[in-house]
């Protein structure tokens, strides 16, 4: 029984890893696998705990007492049969607590994942700035070196853009030096895009008189 329950628990973990990998590939259906993983683990724990409680045998528990345990009970002038109701209560309370915690934790996670499916789907369908910048047609002019000076000044003043910094941190896998390099590239590209006038926009009128 223990081996079977362990295999089912491992299966739940495999489902969760599969869902995480789908999300890593920007597939919103990964949220469904996360929900299934929590529900599977919930059912496994509940079925195991209920089976342990239902199969409890007080006479067998008393019969399985070791000679050392019986000697200790005799020294305390306790009858093993008198302890059987207490043992049964401990078993019920122990497995009942496990079931209650599992319902709150795994059940709560499954509800949480299910409630976030729409938000995750919308977020994954949004093209990241880096992908949009890579897909944009190349501009004819080169990058102004002053943009790098502006980015360096922002970083020295702890004024980095939180969104771009989070994206750089995710792309770098948490490596600090790589994260800084990615942020600089993203921020310079963003500044460069902001400095390009929109297509079809009229030039700013001159203040000089004719």
Residue 72 carries which DSSP code? H
With b meaning 16 or more CB within 10 Å and e meaning fewer, what string describes 70-108?
eeeeeeeeeeeeebeeeeeeeeeeebeeebeebeeebee
Instruction: Indicate if 64 and 109 belong to the same structural domain.
Output: yes
CB 41 within 8 Å of CB 10? no
Q: Which portions of the chain are predicted below pLDDT 50?
A: 129-130, 132-133, 136-137, 139-140, 198-203, 205-210
15 and 65 fall within a common domain: yes
User: What pLDDT was estimated at residue 16?
Assistant: 92
What pLDDT score does 178 carry? 84
Is residue 201 in some structural domain? Answer: no
In a domain, 107, yes or no: yes
Token pair for 138: 């190349």
Phi-psi region of 26 (alpha: psi -120 to 50; beta: other; left: phi over 0): left
Count of domains observed in the chain: 2
Domain co-membership, 110 together with 169: no
Q: Are residues 63 and 116 in the same domain?
A: yes
Residue 112: its pLDDT value, please?
Answer: 92
Q: What is the pTM of this model?
A: 0.55
pLDDT at 134: 53
CA distance linking residue 83 with residue 154, whole number of Å: 72
Structural contact between residues 88 and 55, judged by C-beta atoms closer than 8 angstroms? no
If asked whether residues 12 and 102 sit together in one domain, one would say yes
Residue 161 lies in a domain: yes
Q: Quick: pLDDT tens for 76-130.
A: 877 777 777 887 888 899 999 999 999 999 999 999 999 988 888 887 776 554 4
Domain that holds residue 42: 2-125
Q: Are residues 50 and 79 in the same domain?
A: yes
Assign 153 to helix, strand or coil: helix
């Amino acid at each position: 029984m223990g081996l079977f329950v362990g295999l089912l628990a491992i299966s739940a973990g495999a489902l969760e890893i599969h869902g995480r990998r789908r999300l890593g590939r920007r597939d919103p259906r990964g949220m469904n696998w996360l929900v299934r993983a929590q529900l599977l683990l919930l059912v496994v724990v509940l079925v195991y705990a209920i089976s342990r409680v239902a199969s409890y045998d007080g006479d067998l528990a008393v019969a399985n007492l070791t000679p050392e345990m019986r000697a200790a009970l005799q020294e305390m002038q306790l009858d093993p049969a008198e302890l059987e109701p207490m043992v049964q209560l401990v078993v019920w309370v122990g497995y009942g607590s496990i079931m209650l915690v599992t319902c709150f934790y795994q059940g709560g996670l499954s509800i949480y994942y299910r409630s976030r499916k729409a938000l995750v789907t919308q977020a994954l369908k949004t093209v990241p700035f880096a992908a949009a910048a890579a897909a944009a047609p190349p501009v004819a002019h080169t990058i102004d070196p002053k943009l790098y000076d502006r980015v360096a000044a922002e970083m020295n003043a702890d004024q980095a853009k939180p969104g771009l910094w989070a994206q750089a941190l995710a792309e770098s896998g948490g490596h600090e030096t790589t994260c800084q390099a990615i942020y600089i590239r993203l921020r310079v590209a963003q500044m460069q895009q902001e400095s390009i006038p929109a297509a079809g926009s009229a030039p700013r009128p001159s203040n000089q008189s004719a």
